[in-house]
């Protein structure tokens, strides 16, 4: 039964989940400290905070992936000991992360049936009935017989949500759900989240770094800073400025200056008729583009239109490709990673966890691309390595020690290490893919300003991002990619979100 909120006067639903005094410590690091958080029945509750603020740890505690050192969790007013995801799901807690857990070679129906499977049996008919009933109730359309690997990312995400609902989910945790989506799919997902709240009374915990998502769908927002909840407010009363201030108050963060846009010079990257053949068809087809010195060229496109393959081709991954790639007017022969590096071309991959070796230290990760410069036959030059690491930590505002394992860093600091590795080599040109994906507001601002600074020193940057706002903010020119081909080019003075979005959709 609803009660009156003494502060706002609004009707307040009963508590769906209550976290009481939760605490989690890893070694000397306090990840979560004395957290009290209430999520009401039928509300969308946004959780905001810098990378490393404790959001993921808090949700891992709720979903049973991690055991708290202190505190308790209550579901519908009753204290529950959640020691595993199985117990969490039985208590009505579901979770969808950026990394889906679907079996891609199976159908939608088969994936739903798996979670209720007995020994040697799948109730496919029951799973189908449950799926169709859910789709009708919340107004979603999905083919029950479609194989997961045939579905676009946005639809796979919906299957994950439906899978959680089919398991009896009453509180759904969504961890950065729009990070894997193109701009056309973001609004659609936010609409789905609203419908889940309004039609079936689902409670949603939305972890996000994107302020406009909070203003569009959230009922309330809680801000985490250094493992503690520092504010819980009605989302409608919070401005972007006030939320950002709560996130970073008292946190020192070096922000570099962007400077003015310089005029572009000669060509430093030229791709001519690049074709990449994979999985029985051309994922990139006769693609040509040019990036000049001191220029950022943005590649805009909906996920799955060849952006990842373009980045991999420029990283020396693919063997089965045709066409030519020139760096500073010289043909890159062989197309291997070392050939690109020797030509003066750098790269930042879309997955920072795949680009870093988590068990190695910060200083070891910083020199991975140029070990020859920091070694003699059979010997690492440790003093030289340490000096370079200390300079990089200072110059790129990395919150870490040289001998600290990179896997212990927040996403923002890990990205800074990779950017230091890239630009520390002073490349002539570079491809930078999804540079701020999953980063908080402060880290995002730092990375974007850093790219502008490097651009203004003369580096030619090919920026690949599924965040259209990022492309519009940073690019001097935008090239739109669709089905592996460049279908449009727009100069900065002619940027138009609607027109670019239409080209991204193939119009």
Are the C-beta atoms of 104 and 120 separated by less than 8 Å? no
The top-level CATH class assigned to 14-248 is: alpha beta
Task: Check: pTM over 0.85? Answer yes or no.
Answer: no
The pLDDT of residue 253 is: 43
Strand partners, 114: none
Model confidence over 252-305: pLDDT tens digits?
444 444 445 555 679 999 999 999 988 778 889 999 999 999 999 999 987 778
pLDDT at 183: 65
Q: Are 447 and 396 in contact (CB under 8 A)?
A: no
Domain boundaries, the chain: 14-248, 267-357+410-504
**Cβ pair 257, 246 in contact under 8 A:** no
Please tell me the predicted confidence (pLDDT) of residue 503. 86
DSSP secondary structure, 207-241, as one string: E-S-HHHHHHH-SEEEEEETTEEEEEEEGGG--HH
Check if 14-248 and 267-357+410-504 are the same fold: yes
pLDDT score at 52: 72
Residue 74: per-residue pLDDT:
93
- Distance (Å, rounded) from C-alpha 291 to C-alpha 287? 13
- The pLDDT value recorded for residue 466 is 83
Pick the CATH number of 267-357+410-504 from 3.40.309.10, 3.40.720.10, 3.40.50.300, 3.30.460.80: 3.40.50.300
Q: Are strands 375-376 and 379-380 parallel, antiparallel or unpaired?
A: antiparallel
Q: Nearest-CA neighbor of 412 among 119, 209, 216, 178?
A: 209
Which residues in the chain come in under a pLDDT of 70?
1-13, 51, 118-120, 182-184, 248-264, 319-320
Which pLDDT value is given to residue 339? 86
């Amino acid at each position: 039964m609803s009660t009156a909120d003494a502060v706002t006067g609004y009707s307040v639903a009963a508590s769906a989940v209550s976290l009481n005094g939760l605490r989690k410590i890893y070694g000397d690091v306090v990840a979560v400290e004395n957290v009290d958080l209430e999520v009401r029945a039928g509300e969308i509750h946004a959780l905001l905070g810098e990378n490393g603020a404790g959001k993921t740890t808090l949700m891992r505690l709720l979903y049973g992936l991690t055991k708290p050192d202190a505190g308790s969790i209550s579901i519908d007013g009753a204290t529950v000991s959640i020691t595993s995801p199985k117990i969490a799901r039985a208590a009505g807690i579901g979770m969808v992360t950026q990394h889906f857990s679907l079996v891609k070679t199976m159908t939608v129906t088969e994936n739903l049936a798996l979670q209720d499977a007995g020994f040697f049996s799948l109730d496919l008919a029951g799973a189908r009935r449950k799926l169709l009933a859910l789709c009708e109730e919340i107004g979603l359309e999905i083919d029950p017989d479609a194989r997961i690997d045939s579905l676009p990312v946005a639809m796979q995400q919906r299957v994950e949500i439906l899978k959680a609902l089919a398991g009896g989910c009453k509180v759904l945790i969504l961890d950065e759900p729009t990070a894997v989506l193109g701009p056309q799919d973001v609004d659609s997902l936010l609409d789905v989240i609203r419908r889940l709240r309004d039609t079936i009374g689902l409670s949603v915990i939305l972890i996000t770094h994107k302020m406009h998502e909070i203003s569009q769908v959230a009922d309330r927002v809680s801000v985490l800073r250094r493992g503690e909840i520092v504010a819980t407010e009605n989302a409608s009363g919070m401005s972007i400025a006030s939320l950002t201030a709560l996130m970073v108050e008292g946190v020192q963060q070096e922000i570099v200056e962007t400077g003015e846009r310089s005029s572009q010079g000669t060509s430093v990257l030229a791709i001519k008729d690049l074709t990449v053949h994979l999985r029985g068809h051309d994922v990139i087809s006769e693609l040509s583009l040019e990036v000049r010195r001191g220029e950022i060229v943005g590649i805009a496109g909906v996920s799955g239109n060849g952006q990842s393959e373009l980045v991999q081709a420029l990283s020396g991954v693919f063997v089965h490709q045709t066409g030519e790639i020139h760096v500073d007017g010289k043909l890159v022969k062989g197309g291997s990673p070392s050939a690109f590096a020797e030509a003066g071309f750098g790269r930042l991959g879309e997955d920072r966890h795949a680009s870093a070796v988590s068990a190695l230290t910060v200083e070891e990760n910083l020199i991975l691309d140029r070990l020859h410069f920091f070694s003699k036959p059979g010997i690492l030059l440790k003093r030289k390595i340490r000096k370079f690491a200390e300079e990089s930590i200072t110059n790129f505002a990395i919150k870490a020690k040289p001998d600290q394992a990179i896997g212990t860093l927040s996403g923002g600091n890990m990205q800074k290490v990779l950017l230091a590795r890239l630009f520390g080599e002073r490349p002539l040109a570079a491809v930078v893919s999804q540079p701020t994906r999953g980063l908080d507001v402060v880290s995002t601002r730092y990375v974007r300003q850093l790219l502008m600074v490097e651009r203004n020193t003369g580096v030619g940057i090919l920026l690949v991002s599924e965040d259209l706002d990022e492309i519009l903010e940073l690019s001097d020119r935008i090239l739109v990619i669709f089905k592996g081909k460049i279908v449009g080019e727009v100069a900065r003075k002619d940027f138009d979100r609607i027109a670019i979005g239409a080209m991204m959709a193939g119009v």
